[in-house]
Structure 1
């Protein structure tokens, strides 16, 4: 076999429709677009247009509030951290922070920090350095003999 002999399987590719090539072709003159009007022309952008009627996105009232100052935390449970330690992805003896969790594949990306929740069981003695933790998570870590240092960057997230 030579490079110039390679071709697609039969029916794998389809020739594009060449429009506007005379009335004998069946798709000449208007090129399958019908007659006149906005849609027959190029550069049409009418998504959401309802023919002069007030569009639905303007008829419905605005709802809610988007707080631009809110923090977006990665939520990690104690059980998930313990699973990563058991699998050998995390070193339980060193300080565990957001970068260590990302390196272990526990979180995908570091947002505004990591918030630890108390879901699951903890066997290892851990030193955590996180943006926030629930009260029960702090109790569980301290009960296992570890410690949690809540970073000052997110003081509002320290409790709850």
Structure 2
């Protein structure tokens, strides 16, 4: 094999259009731009989605949905999941260590789902009223 033998695969490279080279090329005179109009002019540009003054599609369609930016930093833990935490005081770090909340979670809510048997101390978590009642009934307490 020699360097002068190397060439692209057949059909992989398309020759560029040679514009304005006479009527025999099919791209002579107006160079494939048709006759007159904004798109035929030098610098004839309009913004993406422009439909000639007609109301554009992205404005005709109704607005839909909302994606919360703060959602990704909050997490929820169910009451019965606390049984898998081996810590006397349960806080955000203890829940991260037990893989109950993702590492990027900044705030955690404890919701009333299931039962809790052991007495635990909850610190630095948002606790729903129903979950608070079950924790205190099991002999635990909720701080701050």
Alpha-carbon distance, 1:104 to partner: 1.2
Alpha-carbon distance, 1:74 to partner: 1.4
Alpha-carbon distance, 1:15 to partner: 8.8
Alpha-carbon distance, 1:67 to partner: 8.8
Structure 1 residues 67 and 110, CA gap change in structure 2 (3 angstroms): closer
Does residue 95 of the first structure (1) align with residue 96 of the second (2)?
Answer: no
Task: Name the TM-score, length of structure 1 as normaliser.
Answer: 0.53
1:116–1:133: 8 Å Cα contact kept in structure 2? yes
Q: Determine which of 122, 135, 140 is the counterpart of 1:141.
A: 135
The number of residue pairs the alignment matches comes to 113
For residues 103-153 of structure 1, give each alpha carbon's deviation from its aligned partner in whole angstroms, at most 9, with x where no partner exists: 211011343411111101111211111331111100111111111113xxx
Larger Rg: 2
CA RMSD of aligned residues (A): 4.1
Structure 1 unmatched ranges of 5 or more: 1-13, 23-29, 39-44, 151-160
Task: Name the TM-score, length of structure 2 as normaliser.
Answer: 0.58
2:76–2:110: 8 Å Cα contact kept in structure 1? yes
Q: For 2:120 and 2:75, how far apart are their aligned partners in 1?
A: 19
Please give the residue correspondences for 1:27-38 in structure 2 after superposition, counting only pairs within 5 Å: none
Q: Determine which of 6, 13, 17 is the counterpart of 1:18.
A: 13
What is aligned with 1:73? 74
Structure 1 residues 106 and 54, CA gap change in structure 2 (3 angstroms): same
Q: Secondary structure at the match of 2:105?
A: coil
Alpha-carbon distance, 1:81 to partner: 1.9
Please give the residue correspondences for 1:107-126 in structure 2 after superposition, counting only pairs within 5 Å: 107-126=101-120
Q: Secondary structure at the match of 1:107?
A: coil
2:91–2:125: 8 Å Cα contact kept in structure 1? no
What is aligned with 2:24? none
